[in-house]
Structure 1
Amino acid sequence: MPEGWDAIQRDMDKLVKWAHGNLLRFNKAKPKVLHLVKGNAQDRYRLGDGQTESSHAKNLGLLEDERLDMTKQCALTAQKSSCILGCIKSSVTSRSREWILPLYPALVRPHLECCIQLWGPQHRKDMDLL
């Protein structure tokens, strides 16, 4: 709704004014707008004298798209975890449980659990992949 767009722009203008008053600068290349609704006007906002770009990219390290489908995120996470497991397999000579078991929660699980509350797999194929 246009009223919402105006309110967001006013808030961004207030941020710029506050930053200027505190001798801070924004990196104008970083702010991105994620459009989640198909067919919206895809407005751009101003941050000072710069324009914001539209994004389908990473946010907080998460891959997202306009449908909030996290299949790409699940695939990337599974790939990273698999690479780490491969490194463990090739670099640890001992195959005893006392050496291997502590490495999994220390090296692999953090990648699987990073922001899981936001991108938790919802499709069966994603769960199976992970």
Structure 2
Amino acid sequence: MDLLERVQRRATKMVRGLEHLSYEDRLRELGLFSLEKRRVQGDLIAAFQYLKGAYRKDGEGLVTRASSDRTRGNGFKLKEGRFRLDIQKKLFSVRVVKHWKRLPRGAVDAPSLEVFKARLDEALGNLV
């Protein structure tokens, strides 16, 4: 557990009335996510923006839409880009593709970033 997660764990214990609950229950009561889920949330938001046309030059080839019409689940599958250098980009694409595949169709088909964020929060909230 990293330092920030410990700080968040300790801060949630300071909320009067929630001291006796587990960390996950305190987060749920406060409407918060763990830092790991917040990282995933940020990655998925960046991927959604990229797929909608933002970051074209910076993230060229980072993730691409899978060409198969035979998909189960959300129908908007991604595949990882290939990189020889810059391992950070590859790690980002691996993280995004792994979690993107588990999103519901309503989230990935969202017409705007605001709608995507709301649907993403709902999907991640079910994983708490």
Give TM-score scaled by structure 2 length: 0.29
- Structure number, greater radius of gyration: 1
1 or 2, which has the higher strand percentage?
A: 1
Higher relative contact order (CA 8 A, sep 6+): 2
